Amino acid sequence: MPILEAIDVHGGYGGMNILNGVDMAIEADEVGVIVGPNGAGKSTMLKAVFGLLTITGGEIRLRGEPITNLSPHKLVEMGMGFVPQEKNIFPSLSVEENLEMGAFLKPATASRLKQQIFEFFPPLKEKRRQPAGELSGGQRQMVAMGRALMNEPSVLLLDEPTAGLSPLYMNEIFERVKAIAASGVGVLMVEQNAKQALRIAHRGFVLAAGQNRFTDTGEALLNDPQVARSFLGG
């Protein structure tokens, strides 16, 4: 059974439908990557999963349980983590405090998990007392992911985690994403850097106009000439 499953999801903002029937499913140790042109509804889909916009049709399931239109707060309790694209840290809080906020619902495990996160993202350990707003872009992204991981999620949603990062950091972040999935967390992420992202993806979903255009393994999509031509720039 997939850990996260979306079946024929419709939805949008203020009566305007952006999603017109999206299907996706990922297993507990898989990376799912959503790619597609601008305006295809990639980020919208992620927000729909996290309960940030009203779904007008279809269903979303977490471990087989329906979670359609549950509030973000409830979803966090059920083990979902979300890292927005922008404003994904608390800038005036220290790195350590940012992580603690991620474990707000499970304070007892905070210090143990914090150590794990520091081992997982070594650059954060030395900057633990520094306000997160003073870090570089890549380190901020690590803080943001670390904060979401502090809740020990079973599913992690990442909205363009490598946007605006240098290639060095991008690879670093993708490596970490792979490692997160390997530890048994289902990762669903939206990416602009489609080729690199599909390389680590177990599942790839190519969206266009709010619908699945291609759905396959990452590798298969990369090798599909049609996908390459239309969506990956040749």
Per CB under 8 A, residues contacting another protein are 50, 72-73, 76-77, 82, 84, 87-93, 97-98, 100-102, 104-105, 107, 147-148, 151
Please give the structure tokens belonging to residue 228.
């390459």
Of residues 65 and 86, the one with the C-beta less far from another protein: 86
Q: What is the CA radius of gyration of the chain?
A: 17
Distance between CA atoms of residues 184 and 197, nearest Å? 19
Of residues 40 and 45, the one with the C-beta less far from another protein: 45
Three-state SS for 100? helix
Q: Min. distance of Cβ 130 from another protein in angstroms?
A: 15
Q: Min. distance of Cβ 73 from another protein in angstroms?
A: 6
Q: Min. distance of Cβ 144 from another protein in angstroms?
A: 9
Of residues 93 and 228, the one with the C-beta less far from another protein: 93
Of residues 75 and 201, the one with the C-beta less far from another protein: 75
- CA 160 to each of CA 33, 62, 143: distance values in angstroms, whole numbers, following the listed order: 10, 22, 15
Q: Min. distance of Cβ 191 from another protein in angstroms?
A: 20
β-pair type (65-66, 55-62)? antiparallel
Nearby residues of 132 by Cβ (< 8 Å), 6 or more positions away = 89, 90, 91, 93, 94, 95, 98, 140, 143
Q: Min. distance of Cβ 76 from another protein in angstroms?
A: 4
Of residues 149 and 170, the one with the C-beta less far from another protein: 149
- CA 108 to each of CA 81, 112, 205: distance values in angstroms, whole numbers, following the listed order: 18, 9, 37
Cβ atoms < 10 Å from Cβ of 209? 13
Q: Min. distance of Cβ 111 from another protein in angstroms?
A: 12
Of residues 54 and 92, the one with the C-beta less far from another protein: 92
Question: Are 178 and 187 a contacting pair, CB within 8 Å?
Answer: no
